[in-house]
C-alpha cells in the first residue's frame, strides 16, 4: 500500500511539474490569466510590468547615474544563447555588474527580449509609458552581490535587479551591433536549442544614456513572479531597422511549433507604489494629446488581442 501511495505521489508531482513548466502568455491551460493559480506571487500587489505615467512619476535628484561595470569586456567573450520557448535568452558572465544609485552592486545573469509581432500587435514591450507600448523591450537580469549566487538571491527580499531598455524602429537604420545576435537566431529556431556567440557588444546593444531612468520595486514578469526586483527602466531607447525587428519577431518557434509572437505580460496595477525618475521632463499640450491618442490605439489593439484569444479558446 505504501508503495502505491508513493507511486501516486510521484505521478502527481510529475504532473504538477509539467503543468508548472508549460505556462504561456495567451494560450493553453496556464495562460496569463491563470498564472496565480499555480504561482501565487503572480497575484500579488507589487507585480511588473507597469504603465509608467510620467505626470505621476516623482523626480528624485538623489538618483545618480547607473554604472555598468565590465559590460564593455563582453566583446571578447563566449555567450551561450538559448530559445527557451518564451524568448531568446543570453547567458552573461559574472564580470558584468550593475551599480545602482545607492551603490548596491548587482551581478549580471542573463539578458532576454520581449516583442509582439502578431496580426493585432506590432509592438511588444512589457512596460508602457503613458499607455504607449514600444516595439520591443530588453531585460538584463542581475542579482544582489551580497548573496553567493542567483539561486540564493532569487528568493531574497532584495535579491534581484533588472535593467530594462526599450527598442524603437527606424525604417532603414540598421543597427550593426545587433548583426551577430540576429544572425545566430537561425541556430535556435526550436525550443531547447542553444548556440554560442563569440563576442557580443552588450554595452553597445543598450542605450548610451544611463543617466536618465525610472525606478520602482516590482517583480519578475514571468512565473514565479517573485516580488523582489528593483527595476531600472532607461528613458532612452535602442533603434533597430524594420528588417531587424521583423527578423527577431519571426525567427523562433514556441513549444507548440508556432512562431513566437507577443511574448510579453500585460501591465499590472501600481497599487500604492511610487515610481521615481532621475530626470525631469516638460510636456506640451501637443505631446499630451499625442500620447493620449496613442494610448487609445494601444487599448484597441489589446482589446482585439483579448478577443482573438477568446475565439481561439472556443475553437479548442
Q: How many CA atoms lie within 13 A of 127 on its CB side?
A: 30
Q: DSSP character for 286?
A: H
Question: Exposed/middle/buried for 167, CB within 10 Å: 0-12, 13-18, 19+?
Answer: buried
Beta bridge partners of 131: none
How far is it, in rounded angstroms, from Cα 73 to Cα 247?
A: 27
Instruction: Give the list of residues 6+ apart from residue 157 with CB closer than 8 angstroms, or none.
Output: 228
Asked if the bond preceding 164 is cis, omega within 30° of 0, the reply is no
Here the cell at position 267 is: 501591465
Reduce the DSSP state of residue 300 to 3 states and report it.
Answer: helix
Here the cell at position 59 is: 523626480
Q: DSSP character for 224?
A: T
In the annotation, is 86 catalytic? yes
Provide the strand spans (E) within 173-312: 194-198, 213-218, 229-240, 276-277
DSSP secondary structure, 26-93, as one string: SSSTT-GGGHHHH-GGGGSSS-S--EE-GGGPEE-TT-PPPEEESGGGGGGSEEEEEE-SSSEEEE--
Q: Which of 86, 114, 139, 184 is catalytic?
A: 86
Q: Are 178 and 202 in contact (CB under 8 A)?
A: no
Question: Exposed/middle/buried for 158, CB within 10 Å: 0-12, 13-18, 19+?
Answer: middle
The residues that are catalytic are 86
Amino acid at each position: 500500500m505504501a508503495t502505491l501511495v508513493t507511486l501516486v505521489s510521484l505521478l502527481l508531482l510529475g504532473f504538477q511539474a509539467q503543468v508548472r513548466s508549460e505556462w504561456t502568455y495567451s494560450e493553453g491551460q496556464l495562460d496569463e490569466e491563470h498564472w496565480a493559480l499555480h504561482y501565487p506571487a503572480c497575484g500579488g500587489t507589487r507585480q511588473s510590468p507597469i504603465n509608467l505615467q510620467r505626470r505621476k512619476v516623482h523626480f528624485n535628484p538623489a538618483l545618480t547615474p547607473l554604472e555598468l561595470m565590465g559590460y564593455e569586456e563582453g566583446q571578447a567573450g563566449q555567450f551561450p544563447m538559448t530559445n527557451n520557448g518564451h524568448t531568446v535568452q543570453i547567458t552573461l558572465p559574472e564580470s558584468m555588474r550593475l551599480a545602482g544609485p545607492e551603490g548596491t552592486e548587482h551581478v549580471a545573469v542573463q539578458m532576454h527580449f520581449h516583442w509582439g509581432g502578431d496580426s493585432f500587435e506590432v509592438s511588444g514591450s512589457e512596460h508602457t509609458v503613458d499607455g504607449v507600448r514600444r516595439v520591443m523591450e530588453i531585460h538584463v537580469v542581475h542579482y544582489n552581490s551580497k548573496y553567493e549566487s542567483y539561486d540564493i538571491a532569487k528568493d531574497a527580499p532584495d535579491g534581484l535587479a533588472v535593467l530594462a531598455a526599450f527598442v524603437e524602429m527606424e525604417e532603414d537604420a540598421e543597427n550593426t551591433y545587433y548583426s551577430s545576435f540576429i544572425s545566430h537566431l537561425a541556430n535556435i529556431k526550436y525550443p531547447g536549442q542553444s548556440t554560442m556567440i563569440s563576442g557580443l557588444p552588450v554595452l553597445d546593444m543598450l542605450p548610451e544614456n544611463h543617466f536618465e531612468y525610472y525606478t520602482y520595486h516590482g517583480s519578475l514578469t514571468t512565473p514565479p513572479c517573485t516580488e523582489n526586483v528593483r527595476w531600472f527602466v532607461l528613458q532612452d531607447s535602442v533603434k533597430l531597422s524594420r528588417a531587424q525587428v521583423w527578423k527577431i519577431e519571426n525567427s523562433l518557434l514556441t513549444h507548440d511549433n508556432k512562431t513566437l509572437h507577443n511574448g510579453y505580460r500585460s501591465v499590472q496595477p501600481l497599487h500604492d507604489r511610487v515610481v521615481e525618475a532621475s530626470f525631469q521632463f516638460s510636456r506640451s499640450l501637443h505631446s499630451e494629446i499625442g500620447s493620449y491618442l496613442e494610448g487609445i490605439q494601444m487599448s484597441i489593439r489589446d482589446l482585439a488581442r483579448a478577443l482573438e484569444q477568446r475565439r481561439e479558446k472556443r475553437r479548442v
